[in-house]
Amino acid sequence: MNAVVVLDIGKTNVKLALIDHAGTLLAERRRPNAPLRQGPYPHHDTEGIWHWMLSTLAEFAGMAHVEAIVPVTHGATAALVDDAGLVLPVPDYEHDPAAAPAAYLAVRPAYAETRSPRLPAGLNLGRQLAWLVQAQPAAFARARHILMYPQYWAWRLCGIAAGEVTSLGCHTDLWDPQRQQYSSLVAKMGWQPLLPPLRRAWDTLGTILPALAAQTGLPASCRIVCGIHDSNASLLRHLGGDATPAVLSTGTWVIAAAPGRTLDGLREEFDMLANTSALGQPVPCMRFMGGREFAELAGSRPAAFHTTALQRIVCSGTYALPGFAGAGGPFAGRHGSIVGPAPVNDTERSALATLYLALMSDYCLDALGAGDDVVVEGSFTGNPYFAPLLAALRPGRRVAVTDDASGTTCGGWMLAHWGRVPAVRANVAQPLPLEGLAAYRLAWLSRLG
């Protein structure tokens, strides 16, 4: 049986999925993706992921003939490598570089050029790199390549360095989405020689290194695909049709994407940005750290709830006002609060958290001028009340939920089978009949100021 492996590195978890030729999931393995705190700065546990991945690949090799591996990762992350490997640990983008940002702001391109908003900590990849030049000059000077995170894993598997536009175009300050070329920052910093040739996300870079094939039992012919940024993987199967819907990619980050819309309405102060699709198209986007915020509101053990709990929240006038993650989003810098009677138990806390996610998603979609159709991808598809709430907040507009809790995995499979588009199996959400929800929404918006 032929199959593809998708390496899906999210901010919270790392996943390996074994998918057959028809797109059916055969096996899945997960591990936490916790940053390491020791060393020069907080950084990703690349060696832990690597050894776990090789062990899991060996397991998968006994289950199917693995014909390709596709890396899919979160954004705002890059690796500095020489011929032997990393010259510095891969920084965690939630680490706030200690150096004052003034020097970086002096060279940072204008928002009108990059459509990359100024973000906290290391969420602008250009700031991470500029800080490393200052803080680790000797190590930075040894680097041969700056590799975006998906292409770092592809390079480790096949030894071929490549660049790719979806990760370069994800609020990095390195990319001009309208011209589809590097921004002026790259020339100012002299980084062009370190950025390898651009390849398409679906290109095969090479085959797995012979030593790795021998270690894992994978076939020597196993292809290593260039790879893609995760929310762009979720978007992939919705592109190219006559009527492209807005896509809500959900997980640690909730990213609302409005393909086909112009960039004219984007506003930096609301963390609105232009991503670049795998097809090289600028895509207006807006996001917030929804998965992290849900955990803050609902607690570490979210409870099951029913419509009655949501109705109590609405009727009692309890509002969760952003933000609860402290990492970008339209209300960055604002401290989250609960207004009105506090939830009395875990059930009400989970109901309030779900209602908050739906309100924030609706806010982002409206700000983008998203059309009538919205498709929900990712982990929130497992919440039975999220999409019906969103549909109720957007009367007369269609909200659909895919049957895939990981649109990233589907997108990775598509890259390995380029030219084949799986059917988008989606259920249209029926609006949840909550009394007073329209007035509650208006009251929530008014409290945002």
Is residue 300 very low, low, confident or very high in pLDDT (cuts 50, 70, 90)?
Answer: confident
- Of 259, 146, 237, whose CA–CA distance to 198 is shortest? 146
* Domain identity same for 11 and 140: yes
* Domain identity same for 413 and 302: yes
Q: Which residues 6+ apart lie within 8 Å of 47 measured at CB?
A: none
Q: Examine the pLDDT at 100 and tell me if it is beyond 70.
A: no
* Domain identity same for 251 and 181: no
* Domain identity same for 7 and 51: yes
Dihedral, CA of residue 366, residue 367, residue 368 and residue 374, to nearest 10: -20
* Domain identity same for 174 and 151: yes
Query: 337-350 burial string, b = 16+ CB within 10 Å, else e?
Result: ebeeeebeeebbbb
* Domain identity same for 252 and 175: no
* Domain identity same for 268 and 151: no
Share of the chain above pLDDT 70, in %: 98
* Domain identity same for 159 and 89: yes
Domain final residue pick, 177, 195, 226: 226
* Domain identity same for 109 and 42: yes
* Domain identity same for 311 and 374: yes
Number of domains in the chain: 2
Domain final residue pick, 162, 194, 226: 226
Q: What residue ranges in 172-240 does DSSP mark as E strands?
A: 175-176, 181-182, 204-207, 223-225, 228-229
* Domain identity same for 195 and 60: yes
Can you give the pLDDT at residue 99? 61
Domain final residue pick, 202, 226, 250: 226
* Domain identity same for 57 and 40: yes
pLDDT tens per residue across span 1-48: 999 999 999 999 999 999 999 999 999 999 999 999 999 999 999 999
Indicate the pTM of the whole model: 0.93
- Of 173, 355, 374, whose CA–CA distance to 257 is shortest? 374
Q: Does residue 226 contact residue 166 with C-beta atoms inside 8 Å?
A: no
Q: In what order do the strands lie in the sheet with 398-402?
A: 272-276, 282-288, 254-257, 246-250, 373-378, 398-402, 426-428
> 147 in helix, strand or coil?
strand
Phi first, then psi, for residue 274 (nearest 5°) are -110, 110
Longest distance between any two alpha carbons in the chain, whole Å: 64
Can you give the pLDDT at residue 371? 75
CATH number at residue 246: 3.30.420.40
**Residue 289 sits in which domain range?**
231-447
- Where does residue 176 rank: exposed (0-12), middle (13-18), buried (19+ CB within 10 A)? buried
Lowest mean pLDDT among 265-269, 278-282, 361-365, 419-423: 419-423
- What six digits make up the tokens of 425? 């199996």
